[in-house]
């Protein structure tokens, strides 16, 4: 059910008033909505539906031409709070007065930015975008300051409002940075809300809704919002408590790297491992920024190393961020493939997310020219993508996806390699193609203001590529003039002379009458008020903003040695296995230990100079050092030798994005965990799973099992049944037994089980057929869609 009803009530309080509640479970695990309503006329009677009194019908005596007005107040606390809210905010019955008051308030709010545009459509799009940025977060507290906390208890704060709807994976990028310019008072209130939520739940919010943590996205980007506000001198909250909350939230087990030494998220343990690694690295930088600012230097080396976690996923050969498993690169790689290693994206759309150390990202690619070429390739590649269909990936220009947030900063990266005219051209193209004055005028979800915040910033002529740094990267303004009316009483004016849909290139810039050669602008310049003037033209000025000293800077000045890569064709083998060790830094010295006993300290250390073979189960530790520097890193991989006594043939086709180790995955002795997206589960949709195992010789069989996973929220059900067959020739088959699944098909959560058969027989061939659940039932959100089977191993004893 989309919004499962947990509790409800409809109370008739008088002949013209009614109150009640609705407590439900969906995205928010426990959402409370209480109401109090008044009719402008008394009702004659009320009738409830017989089933459960979830609906009420009211009958009135009216004359022709009469009207009935209904006023409703709501609260997340109780019916009394809803009534107080209504009486305080809607005390009269004049619709015209409410309209006039709302109009006056919205004109004041939208008046924080006013200007002259190139055409009426641009003006409407801009003001609509600004309006969208003022809808969320929502006020959550009642007029008396009471609110429902994340502990589901009622709290009260009479000093300021408490808010809800923090879509932080989206909004940390531009929405909250926009608030640091036009909503500084509310930014303080938002952060104080974070701190209240931390006290009530033990963690800062990730994606909070109605006092519930939905955890529907990744990262801990409340750290970004706090750090960005702090560096911009927005500090009306307890900064030490904020830092403590950031540190505790970063240490939450769901937000950690696999181990401190790994310093990245391993694909076999967590889904979306690439996206998590990159975003965690940025969030840790935000925390380090706060620690350094507050002179909190008592940290571990491993904590500072987290800032560089992205390096461990950068594959210099392909030029992309890639998932890693068991010390090496995960399987085959296609940067256009949308799969479980990325959050609503592919490698193209995540490989440039290192906002806190863009200088290093450029260096990893080989310098300015190589990185510029990579950006050109991003925007000019085919828009075709492989893997699963992801409805969020829209608004494509090449592999750039403006319809979803991970791409939003990329057009501005040309400034960092001294090619700002390319940023100018691309930003104007995005504004022209991805936004329109139409009901479907956005290229993707609004996402609580982020899609529109990108437009508001870009139309003004700059964008916050790195929230946490107190400057904005300059693009190409769409306005002719714009006044930003600041809360401190100052006005910052933007003027774009000779601007048009053809004159999209910046020729020169002045700030307060002085020549301004920089392709970025400081937050302080804006808050102090003044005038930023662009001279625009139709031909790129390839000298403005080009020199290195005029470019924006995003750099972390310290050394870090990324982990070596231990690569092999698989984690299991039958005879021998070739192992390669590599590192993208040519100065690195590589050594390794082969350990089959678990006592690495006594194992021999070998200097690596070429690939080698292992012939027994073992662990390999690769160590990297740089001669003359105190830099060290190590990586470990485990390999297992398995019996060479059988082969498998699949008569069903697994989905490419859920391939596990490929054709031999069901006999490789590698087991999956409780998360189907971590890469060890093999998925089949809308079909039965059929596999034949052929032994080298007649084999005594005592037990056969098929290991399966169920997670019905993701359309994955246990098979209805599993049929086990035997054969001596692989042609004529005898049914041994059909094993039925007895586990509930309506249980939400992740579960695993082995559907097993005990037997005593000798055979040469075994066939396993798992019958697919079919289609998602009527009560399921995927009603009518094809169900999945997920399996990880056929176990034969």
pLDDT > 60? residue 601: no
What's the CA gap between 790 and 772, in Å, rounded? 10
Q: How confident is the model at residue 574 (pLDDT cuts 50, 70, 90)?
A: very high
Task: Give CA separation, 159 vs 141, 156, 162, 268, in Å.
Answer: 11, 9, 10, 47
3 state DSSP class of 630: coil
What's the CA gap between 794 and 797, in Å, rounded? 10
- Cβ-based burial of 292 (10 A; exposed 0-12, middle 13-18, buried ≥19): exposed
What's the CA gap between 725 and 747, in Å, rounded? 30
DSSP letter for each residue of 563-593: PPEEE-S-SEESS-EEEEEE-S-TT-EEEEE
Query: How many C-beta atoms surround the C-beta of residue 33 within 10 A?
Result: 15
Q: What is the mean pLDDT of residues 659-677?
A: 91
pLDDT > 70? residue 300: no
* Residue carrying structure tokens 């296609």: 334
Q: How confident is the model at residue 388 (pLDDT cuts 50, 70, 90)?
A: confident
Q: What is the mean pLDDT of residues 413-421?
A: 99
The dotted CATH code for 116-132+357-559 is 3.30.2080.10
pLDDT > 90? residue 597: no
Lowest mean pLDDT: which of 124-138, 374-388, 583-597, 734-748? 583-597
pTM: 0.94
Task: Please tell me the CATH superfamily of domain 565-641, with its number.
Answer: Macroglobulin (MG2) domain (2.60.40.1930)
Q: How confident is the model at residue 332 (pLDDT cuts 50, 70, 90)?
A: confident
Task: Give CA separation, 205 vs 77, 135, 190, 202, in Å.
Answer: 20, 19, 11, 10
Q: How confident is the model at residue 679 (pLDDT cuts 50, 70, 90)?
A: confident
Residues 6 or more apart from 218 whose CB is under 8 A from it? 169, 206, 272, 275, 276, 279, 343
Lowest mean pLDDT: which of 8-22, 568-582, 586-600, 646-660? 586-600
Say what the pLDDT of residue 355 is. 98
pLDDT > 80? residue 257: no
Say what the pLDDT of residue 528 is. 99
Tell me: the pLDDT tens digits for 341-370?
Answer: 999 999 999 999 999 999 999 999 999 999
Say what the pLDDT of residue 3 is. 87
Say what the pLDDT of residue 322 is. 98
Closest to 470 (Cα-Cα) out of 558, 357, 361, 552: 552
Closest to 508 (Cα-Cα) out of 484, 483, 532: 532
pLDDT > 80? residue 715: yes
**Orientation angle between helical segments 120-132 and 450-460, nearest 10 degrees:** 130
pLDDT > 70? residue 301: no
Say what the pLDDT of residue 260 is. 60
pLDDT > 90? residue 52: no
| Domain regions of the chain by residue span | 4-93, 116-132+357-559, 565-641, 646-796
What's the CA gap between 682 and 222, in Å, rounded? 35
Q: What is the mean pLDDT of residues 496-523?
A: 99
User: CA torsion, points 516, 518, 523, 525, in degrees to nearest 10?
Assistant: -10
Say what the pLDDT of residue 256 is. 73
Task: Give CA separation, 367 vs 347, 360, 363, 586, in Å.
Answer: 20, 9, 5, 16
Q: What is the mean pLDDT of residues 726-751?
A: 96
Q: What is the 3-state secondary structure (H, E, C) of 717-778?
A: CCCCEEEEEEECCCCCCEEEEEEECCCCCCCCCCEEEEEEEEEEEEEEEEEEEECCCCECCC
The answer to whether 620 and 614 have CB atoms below 8 angstroms apart is yes
Task: Please tell me the CATH superfamily of domain 646-796, with its number.
Answer: Galactose-binding domain-like (2.60.120.260)
The answer to whether 356 and 285 have CB atoms below 8 angstroms apart is yes
Chain centroid to CA 756 = 38
The answer to whether 177 and 227 have CB atoms below 8 angstroms apart is no
3 state DSSP class of 712: helix
Q: What is the mean pLDDT of residues 37-53?
A: 91
Say what the pLDDT of residue 252 is. 78
pLDDT > 90? residue 113: yes
What's the CA gap between 735 and 723, in Å, rounded? 7
Say what the pLDDT of residue 102 is. 97
Q: How confident is the model at residue 303 (pLDDT cuts 50, 70, 90)?
A: confident
Residues 6 or more apart from 126 whose CB is under 8 A from it? 113, 117, 455, 456, 459, 478, 479
Q: What is the mean pLDDT of residues 658-676?
A: 91
Q: How confident is the model at residue 8 (pLDDT cuts 50, 70, 90)?
A: very high
Beta bridge mates, 710: 751
């Amino acid at each position: 059910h989309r919004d499962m009803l947990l509790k409800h009530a409809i109370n008739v309080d008088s002949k013209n008033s009614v109150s009640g509640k609705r407590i439900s479970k969906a995205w928010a695990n426990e959402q409370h909505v209480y109401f109090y309503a008044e009719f402008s006329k008394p009702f004659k009677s009320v009738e409830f539906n017989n089933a459960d009194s979830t609906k009420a019908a009211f009958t009135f005596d009216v004359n022709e031409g009469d009207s009935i007005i209904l006023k409703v107040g709501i609260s997340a606390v109780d019916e009394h709070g809803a009534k107080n809210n209504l009486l305080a905010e809607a005390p009269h019955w004049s619709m015209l007065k409410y309209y006039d008051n709302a109009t006056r308030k919205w004109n004041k709010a939208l008046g924080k930015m006013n200007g002259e545009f190139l055409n009426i459509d641009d003006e409407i799009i801009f003001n609509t975008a600004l309006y969208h940025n003022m809808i969320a977060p929502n006020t959550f507290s009642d007029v008396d300051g009471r609110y429902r906390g994340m502990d589901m208890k009622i709290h009260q704060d009479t000093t300021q409002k408490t808010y809800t709807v923090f879509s932080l994976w989206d909004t940390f990028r531009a929405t909250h940075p926009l608030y640091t310019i036009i909503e500084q008072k509310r930014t303080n209130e938002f952060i104080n809300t974070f701190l209240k939520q931390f006290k009530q739940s033990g963690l800062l919010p990730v994606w909070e809704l109605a006092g519930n943590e939905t955890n529907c996205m990744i990262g801990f980007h409340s750290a970004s919002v706090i750090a960005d506000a702090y560096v911009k001198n927005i500090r009306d909250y307890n900064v030490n408590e904020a830092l403590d909350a950031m540190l505790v939230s970063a240490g939450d087990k769901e937000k950690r790297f696999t181990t401190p030494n790994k310093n990245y998220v391993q694909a076999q343990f967590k889904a979306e491992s690439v996206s998590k690694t990159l975003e965690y690295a940025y969030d840790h930088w935000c925390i380090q920024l706060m620690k350094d600012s507050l002179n909190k230097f008592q940290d571990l080396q491993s904590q500072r190393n987290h800032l560089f976690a992205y390096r461990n996923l950068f594959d210099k050969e392909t030029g992309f961020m890639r998932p890693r498993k068991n010390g090496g690169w995960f399987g085959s790689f296609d940067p256009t493939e949308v799969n479980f290693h990325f959050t609503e994206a592919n490698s193209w759309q995540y490989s440039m997310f290192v906002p806190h150390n863009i200088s290093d990202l450029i260096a990893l690619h080989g310098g300015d020219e190589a990185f510029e070429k990579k950006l050109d390739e991003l925007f000019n590649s085919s828009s075709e993508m492989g893997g699963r269909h992801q409805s969020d990936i829209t608004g494509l220009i090449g592999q750039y996806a403006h319809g979803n947030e991970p791409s939003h900063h990329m057009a501005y990266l040309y400034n960092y390699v001294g090619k700002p005219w390319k940023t100018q051209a691309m930003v104007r193209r995005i504004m022209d193609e991805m936004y329109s004055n139409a009901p479907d005028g956005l290229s993707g979800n609004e996402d609580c203001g982020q899609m529109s915040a990108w437009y508001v910033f870009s139309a003004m002529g700059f964008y916050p590529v790195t929230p946490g740094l107190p400057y904005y990267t300059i693009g190409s303004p769409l306005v002719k003039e714009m006044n930003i009316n600041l809360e401190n009483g100052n006005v910052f004016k933007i003027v774009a002379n000779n601007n048009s849909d053809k004159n999209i290139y910046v020729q020169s810039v002045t700030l307060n009458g002085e020549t301004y050669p920089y392709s970025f602008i400081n937050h302080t310049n804006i808050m102090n008020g003044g005038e930023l003037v662009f001279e625009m033209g139709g031909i790129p000025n390839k000298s403005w903003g080009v020199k290195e000293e005029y470019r924006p800077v995003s750099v972390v000045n310290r050394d870090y040695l990324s982990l070596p890569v231990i690569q092999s064709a698989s984690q299991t083998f039958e005879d021998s296995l070739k192992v390669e060790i590599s590192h993208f830094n040519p100065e690195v010295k590589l050594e390794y230990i082969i350990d089959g006993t678990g006592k690495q300290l006594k194992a021999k250390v070998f200097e690596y100079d070429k690939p080698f073979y292992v012939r027994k189960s073992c662990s390999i530790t690769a160590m990297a050092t740089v001669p003359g520097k105190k830099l060290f890193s190590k990586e470990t991989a485990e390999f297992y030798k398995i019996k060479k006594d059988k082969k498998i043939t699949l008569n069903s086709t697994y989905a490419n994005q859920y391939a596990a180790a490929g054709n031999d995955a069901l006999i490789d002795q590698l087991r999956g965990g409780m998360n189907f997206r971590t890469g060890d589960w093999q998925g089949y949709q809308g079909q039965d799973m059929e596999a034949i195992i052929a032994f080298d010789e007649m084999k005594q069989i005592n037990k056969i099992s098929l290991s399966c996973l169920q997670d019905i929220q993701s359309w994955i059900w246990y098979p209805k049944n599993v049929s086990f067959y035997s054969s001596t020739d692989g042609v004529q088959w005898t049914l041994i037994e059909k094993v039925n699944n007895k586990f509930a098909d309506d249980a939400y959560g992740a579960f695993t089980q082995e559907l097993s058969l005990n037997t005593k027989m000798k055979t040469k061939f075994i066939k396993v057929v798992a019958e697919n659940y079919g289609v998602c039932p009527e009560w399921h959100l995927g009603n009518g869609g094809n169900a999945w089977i997920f399996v990880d191993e056929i176990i034969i004893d």
